[in-house]
Amino acid sequence: MPRYYFDLRDEKGIALDEEGLELASHRAVQAEAAKSVADMARDAVLSASPAGGRQTMAIDVRDDGGPVMQVTFSFEIENLKTRSHARDH
């Protein structure tokens, strides 16, 4: 079974996956990449500045032969004040 490596990339740089996972199919690779990017996105949103801003992150998947897939995720936090809340003060 082929071994795939899931490198994490964001504005801070790249964290290389040294261990990898043995997966049987391209669909399994895609599912693992989706799980990884979802975990990254959750952590990034939770640690983002309340002032907001745009962030982009990616999972770069490779095997022993080189790049296989890239899953990119972007989000933006926009700090909104509702008009009704502003009128209450």
| pLDDT tens readout for residues 31-43 | 999 999 888 888 8
Note the pLDDT of residue 85.
Answer: 52
Rounded alpha-carbon distances, angstroms, from residue 88 to 18, 51, 83, 84: 54, 22, 9, 6
Cα 16 versus chain centre, distance: 14
**Other CB atoms within 10 A of residue 10 CB:** 15
Residue where the block lists tokens 């907001």: 52
Note the pLDDT of residue 83.
Answer: 42
| pLDDT tens readout for residues 7-64 | 999 888 999 999 999 999 999 999 999 999 888 888 888 887 777 778 899 999 999 9
Residue where the block lists tokens 């964290």: 15
